[in-house]
Amino acid sequence: MTSPRWQTIFFDLDGTLANTIPLIVASYQHAFREVRGEEIEDARARAWIGRPLLGALLEEDPERGHDLDRTYREWNLANTERLIERYDGVPEMLTTLTAAGARVHIVTSKRTDTARLALAGVGIDHLIDVVGALEHTTKHKPDPEPLLVAAAKLGIDPTAAVYVGDATVDILAARAAGMAAIAVTWGAGERAALEATDPDTVVDSVSELTAYLLNGTHVTPEAPE
């Protein structure tokens, strides 16, 4: 069996392993509608993905940020099961990587409880664990602290690990932590913006990601017939 290029693989969650993007965008829109009577476009909501929720909302509205945060979380929790979506191939990828000898973990800006709820919602909670969550650090992506704390928890050298994410803050955090960085294009980030952060590679499918993680070879997707 092919050995993994990295023995320790950290994954972002939202937009990387689980398609929570529609849920997150709708949650932001609901919160702004309820608290501020404001309609926000998808692109504006997507720009906040990957950052800690409360920090982004307080930056947007210092006076009502906590109200926005509470309203968002209540609606998000109530609608997670209805709106969360699976990415085809993710369970198989995690199983394949584990069988090849890799340790797979999540570092996310979500709280641990909501991260586990999302994992259960897409049926991969038994395949991967959360080693880095919002409550574990005081600084957050794009700061490297979440990744450095996760690496320390596992007793590994950060430079021997890789971080996989869909947002520019993921790649910036990985670079700052000294980790390899892989950007995926099926989440919140735009390819051009991801490429500008200088990841090791940018991949467009789960199968392409699996191949790269297993042997380090960038697989060019086959053209449709």
Q: Which residues are catalytic?
A: 12
Rg (CA), the chain: 17
CA–CA distance, 112 with 133 (Å, rounded to integer): 5
Are 33 and 39 in contact, with CB atoms under 8 Å apart?
Answer: yes
What is the distance between the terminal CA atoms of the chain, rounded to a whole angstrom?
30
Q: Can you read off the two tokens belonging to residue 217? A: 């070879």
Helix (H) or strand (E) holding 147: helix 145-154
CA–CA distance, 11 with 13 (Å, rounded to integer): 6
Task: Count the neighbouring beta carbons within 10 Å of the beta carbon of residue 211.
Answer: 17
- Tell me which residue of 211, 202, 102, 110 sits closest to 156, measured CA to CA: 102
Q: Can you read off the two tokens belonging to residue 87? A: 């990415």
CA–CA distance, 212 with 36 (Å, rounded to integer): 45
